[in-house]
Amino acid sequence: MRAVRLASAVVTAAVLVGGLSACGSSGKSGNDAKGGDTKAAGDPVAGALAGDPKTALAAAALVMQKAGNGKVAMVAPDGSTHTGGSGTADWKDPGKTSVDLTGEMDTKKMRIRVVGTDAYLGAGDAEAAAIGGKHWVKMPAGNEMGDGLLLMSQMLNPVVQLTLAAANKPTKVGQEAVDGTQATHIRSVEDASTMVAGMTGLSPEQRQAVQKTLEQDGKNITVDLWLDAKQQLVQFQEFGDKNGEHDAVTIKYTGLGSAGKIEAPAATDLGNPADILKLLG
């Protein structure tokens, strides 16, 4: 998604985040062809999803907020040198989403961990050897790279995405299969400035950075969301009207409510922030 791409704009060396383009590319994420408005006969939840999309999104936001956490996978677009990333996220606190993700580019594995307002970048043993065997570096407050990771974690918050989409004029696209599960595809076209205004937990500087990055792909942002029969968000994507869907990343949610606690790396395993480039190799 373009919002997540903010991270790549300020963390170009941070491998995982550098692979997150815009979150669009519907049709390249394993979905089946659109199949109209079919739904399971007699299923009251499916019936509700077939109704007003704004209501469906608002209900899904409540479902995801109750779940509080889950597994997250980011699928890079076709032709990308990045393989995306996967891990867990915790969004119980709307303004302080925590994430623990592992990604890979050119066979090099990197990790990103955000715990509340603290952001960390980690690597494997080979890279850690360059900084005395330490596996993590904590981004100092106000650091551009750290801010990018904090913003990325918030953009992976499904409640934020659902709430923003519901606040606009969402429309129902149809029923599609996402990884073998029937889901209701809803689309919302949002003005970039309106989208930023609806984000909580951002400083004025961060809001400015987010809007600037969003508008690099256009003033209008298309958001696609897929809700399953339990009103859970199973997938979403975003793309701007300039570059479109071809370089978009897909975000998938599974294992809702079952993710473990995300904790900060041990202080004894933290290197000097000045050594970040050594850690990145």
**What is the residue-wise DSSP string for 182-233?**
EEEEEEEEEEHHHHHHT--S--HHHHHHHHHHHGGG-SEEEEEEEE-TTS-E
Q: Would you state the pLDDT for residue 17?
A: 38
Interval 225-241 mean pLDDT:
91
* Structure-block tokens of residue 182: 């029937």
State the amino acid at position 26 in one-letter form: S
pLDDT score at 268: 93
Average pLDDT taken over every residue of the chain: 76
Highest mean pLDDT among 126-140, 142-156, 176-190: 176-190
Among all chains, which residue has been given the structure tokens 């606690």? 261
Residues 124, 128: Cα–Cα separation, whole Å: 6
> What is the pLDDT, as a whole number, of residue 103?
79
Q: Is 32 helix (H, G, I), strand (E, B) or coil?
A: coil
Is the pLDDT confidence value at 198 over 70? Answer: no
The structure tokens listed for 84 are 């995306």
Give the global pTM.
0.78
pLDDT band at 219 (very low <50, low <70, confident <90, very high): confident
Mean pLDDT of 213-222: 74
Instruction: Tell me the C-alpha distance between 273 and 108, whole Å.
Output: 20
Q: What percent of the chain has pLDDT over 70?
A: 68
- In this model, does residue 191 exceed pLDDT 80? no
Q: Bigger pLDDT: 84 or 277?
A: 277
Greater confidence (161 vs 11) lies with 161
Pairing of strands 136-138, 270-271: parallel
Q: Is residue 149 within 8 Å of residue 90, measured between CB atoms?
A: no
Per-residue pLDDT, 1: 47
The reported pLDDT for the residue numbered 57 is 94
Kindly state the average pLDDT of the residues 68-76: 89
In this prediction, residue 50 carries a pLDDT of: 60
Q: How confident is residue 280, by pLDDT bands cut at 50, 70 and 90?
A: low
Is the dihedral angle over the CA atoms 225, 64, 30, 28 positive or is it negative?
Answer: positive
Cβ within 8 Å of residue 223, ≥6 positions away: 1, 161, 164, 165, 187, 188, 189, 190, 236, 237, 238
> Quick one: 270 exposed, middle or buried, by C-beta within 10 A (0-12, 13-18, 19+)?
middle
Residue 118: helix, strand or coil by DSSP?
strand
| pLDDT at residue 225 greater than cutoff 90 | yes
Q: What's the CA gap between 132 and 139, in Å, rounded? A: 18
Choose between 208 and 107: higher pLDDT: 208
The pLDDT of residue 15: 35
- The DSSP code sequence of 73-106 is EEEPPTT-SEEEEEEEEE-SSTT--EEEEEEEET
- Please tell me whether residue 24 adopts helix, strand or coil conformation: coil
Q: Does the structure show a pLDDT above 70 at 233?
A: yes
Predicted local confidence at residue 151, as pLDDT: 73
Q: Which of 144-148, 219-223, 265-269, 274-278 has the highest mean pLDDT?
A: 265-269
CATH 2.50.20.20 for domain 2-280: yes
3-class DSSP assignment, residue 31: coil
Average pLDDT of the residues in 205-234: 82
- Please check the confidence at residue 206 and state whether its pLDDT lies above 90: no
pLDDT over 90 at 149, yes or no: no
**Distance, first Cα to last Cα, the chain:** 27
Q: Can you give the pLDDT at residue 60?
A: 95
pLDDT category at 84 given cuts 50, 70, 90 is low
Q: Where are the alpha helices (DSSP H) in 121-189?
A: 125-128, 144-155, 158-166
